[in-house]
Structures are given as C-alpha cells and as structure tokens.
Amino acid sequence: MHDTIRTYFNESIQIQVAAADTLAQPIQNAAQLMVSSLLNGRRVFSCGDGNSTFVAHHFTDLLLHGSRLERPPFPAITLGMNSTHPNQHECLSRQVSALGQSGDLLIAYVSQHHSDRVHQAMEAALSREMKIVAFTGEEAPEITGLLGPSDIEIRIPSSHSARIVEQQLFFSQLLVDLIEERIFQGE
C-alpha cells in the first residue's frame, strides 16, 4: 500500500513539474482571453466528459461565487447532460446552439481520448463564432483538431485520465484566481 501511495504522489508531482515548464504561457493566454471576454459582457460556458464533468461544474461555481474575493458573479453556465430526449448525445451541442453567441467562450474539459459530446459542443461553438479553451491530455487529437488560431489548448502532459482530472481542477482554480487578480486588482 505504501508503494501505491508514493506512486500517486510521484506521478502527480512529475506532471505538475512538466506542466509548469510548458503550460504557463497557454494558461496566461487563457486568463487574458477570459478577462477580455468577461469585461466585454460575454458569457462562459463549460462542459466536460466523464470525471471532467465535475471540473466543469466546479469551474462555473468559482466563476459565479468567487475564489479568493467577495465579488459580483461572472456570467457562467455549466452545460448539463441530463436529458430524456432520445438524442441525448447531442445535449451539449444543442445547448451551445441555443444559448451561445459570437464572442462567448466554451471551456471544454476532456480527460478521455475521445468525447463525442464535448466534440459536438465544440463544433456548435465554432458555428456560433465562440472561442474555445480546451483542457486536454496528451491524447485527444480529435479535440485538438477542432481548435482554431484564436482558441487555446492547455494540454496536460499525461494520458492517465485521473491525473488529467487532477490537473484540470488545479488549473481551473489557478485560472479563476488569475482572472480575479486581473479584473479586481488590489481588492
């Protein structure tokens, strides 16, 4: 049991060290994009696959309620997957199509190699001229292939789903802290 515990800690630490070296600039770019969008009255939609759904909900909660500051809520919505419709695999994309507007943001959390629902939501976001920030692992080529030049990918250096989700949660907290710092400087 002791070896398993040490392995978990070591894997997480190694991913954090690798990410610190490679992801500082994409995270800064994502924070700047979100600050600009929020200051221009745009909305932030988030969604995820599998265990990353929790991260999408947590990220929205941080945007609505704040991280370190007591502040007004930011306009944020977590796209839900609860649907009784027979075509429930389209539930995320239909929400983006119905609610998304040009200039809004889609934050996509992908911890698996492939996610039809998130992929379709990203396609819908592109058709609505929304920008995308995608948190992926090393192996999400279909998600990466959808991103355009104004979109941002934060590619976590791991292919292990649980380690990817851990880092997504960490980066989501960091991103909201950076946004609050930038918008409410000195508060």
Question: Tens digit of pLDDT for each residue in 108-146?
Answer: 999 887 788 999 999 999 999 999 999 999 887 778 888
Extended strands (E) in 54-157: 76-78, 105-109, 131-136, 152-155
- Which structure tokens are listed for 23? 């992801």
The whole-angstrom separation of Cα 47 and Cα 138 is 19
Instruction: Specify whether the CB–CB gap between 165 and 111 falls below 8 A.
Output: yes
Report residue 3's pLDDT band, with 50, 70 and 90 as the boundaries: confident
Angle at 90 between CA 103 and CA 159, to 5 degrees: 80
CATH code of the domain covering residue 125: 3.40.50.10490
141 Cβ contact partners less than 8 Å away, ≥ 6 residues apart: none
Q: Helix (H, G, I), strand (E, B), or coil: what is residue 177?
A: helix
Nearest to 172 by CA among 139, 133, 126, 137: 133
Domain containing 176 equals: 2-183
| pLDDT of the residue at 143 | 81
- What SS3 state is found at 171? helix
For residue 76, the model assigns a pLDDT of 97
**What pTM was computed for the model?**
0.92
Domain count, the chain: 1
